[in-house]
Amino acid sequence: MYSVSVDGGLAGKVTIVSKGLKKCRGSPVCVRASVASTPLRVKNQQLKIGDSEKTVRIGVLGASGYTGAEIVRLLANHPYFAITVMTADRKAGQPFGSVFPHLNTQELPNMVAIKDADFSDVDAVFCCLPHGTTQEIIKGLPEQLKVVDLSADFRLKNIAEYEEWYGQPHKAPKLQEEAVYGLTEIYREEIENARLVANPGCYPTSIQLPLMPLIEEGLIELRNIIIDAKSGVSGAGRGAKEANLYTEIAEGMHSYGITKHRHVPEIEQGLSGVANSKVTVSFTPHLMPMSRGMQSTIYVEMASGVTTDDLYHHLIATYKNEEFVKVLGKGVVPHTRHVRGSNYCLLNVFQDRIPGRAIIISVIDNLVKGASGQALQNLNLMMGFPENTGLQFQPLFP
């Protein structure tokens, strides 16, 4: 039914590079053009599917929140994913465009209550529901569905830890065992073979991407890792709360959840995993007067004899073939505005005044690489597509 045949592709001479790019490993159609000035522009032509069974029918559960809307925005230009079901319990029956007018130029199915959703027409779902309820809903989905869950419900491998931080027993411990943690660049192979991916939190994404390789390589000490993180307000979602009114947020800032933010166990789980040792971090998030964007400023002690250059070069080496994680040139400071609306994570390392210490800066868009973008990156892999499919927007600035 869906028949696309492309002869030649762009620019004739395209010579399929791929340089053993990690992200292409399992892909049936991994192509990598060598075009000088615009690496992005050949993307969609390369990625070809020959028949309709390659079209993936997507359900978006919890479509009326910001991460749901962001999924819809990203899929608008995805060549293989088509949304067939959208749920939003409190806005059931409403057209999506009335809830998110910025997306009202798309033709989309009306939103339904999740209990009324028909999943017979769905191959994979993005689950954008609140934690707690998510577990049972995913448990109730048809087993053949691939699932990327953006909630916190399947991120903590240790069920007891979940109960401690979320104050309730875990309702789907079996699924928890099956879930793969979706930090794409680190766990790519497991994700490719996963049925259920627990998409990482925004803070943990921005923190683990720089720290995991450094810890694994033994370049930094496990003690006294101090993380001062800053986030835009969209991370708090679209719920009507006094504290998130424009008047309460604009032109001011503050710390919140000091020592108690629920992303702490997720961060410590990840770092402890690569350290093979319990890591306890200092983590203080701050709410910024901006909608999108997240920066983690991370203060570390280097292992004996290690220099900031060593950290820098190890991150360069780790991410040199990654499309979405970029270590900037020496001394160049990442800004959150330089990733707004995009799936990039920008990193850099700076020498501290205190000898033996280094400062690591990491920025992402909390709704993209910190949520829906990484979720799409993961589902691309799970469905056998190049992970950058539909994700190659440039940041929006100013």
Q: Scan residues 68-107 and list those touching its own copies (CB under 8 A).
A: 69, 72-73, 75-84, 100-107
Q: Which residues contact residue 243 at a Cβ distance below 8 angstroms, ignoring those fewer than 6 apart?
A: none
393 scored as a contact of its own copies (CB under 8 A): yes
- Site residues for its own copies, window 310-339 (CB under 8 A)? 321-323, 326, 328, 332-339
387 scored as a contact of its own copies (CB under 8 A): yes
First to last CA, the chain: 42
Beta carbons within 10 angstroms of residue 130's beta carbon: 13
| Residue of 286, 291, 233 whose CA lies nearest to 261 | 286
Which x/- pattern, by CB under 8 A, does the window 15-54 give for its own copies?
---xxxxxxxxxxxxxxxxxxxxxxxxxxxxx-xxxxxxx
Q: What is the CA radius of gyration of the chain?
A: 21
189 scored as a contact of its own copies (CB under 8 A): yes
Beta carbons within 10 angstroms of residue 386's beta carbon: 24
Element (H, E) at 297: strand 294-301
Phi then psi for residue 19, to 5 deg, are: 30, 35
- The count of residues interacting with its own copies (CB under 8 A) is 163
- Site residues for its own copies, window 105-144 (CB under 8 A)? 105-109
> Which CB, 134 or 389, lies closer to its own copies?
389
SS3 142: coil
Q: Catalytic residue among 24, 127, 128, 202, which?
A: 202
> Which CB, 277 or 282, lies closer to its own copies?
282
Q: Catalytic site residue 24?
A: no
- Candidate residues 142, 167, 252, 305; the one interacting with its own copies per rule CB under 8 A: 252
Cα–Cα separations (whole angstroms), residue 33 to 13, 103, 188, 238, 310: 9, 32, 22, 40, 32
* Piece in contact with its own copies (CB under 8 A), picked from 146-154, 158-166, 173-181, 255-263: 255-263
- Site residues for its own copies, window 232-251 (CB under 8 A)? 232-234, 238-242, 244-251
> Which residues does the annotation mark as catalytic?
202
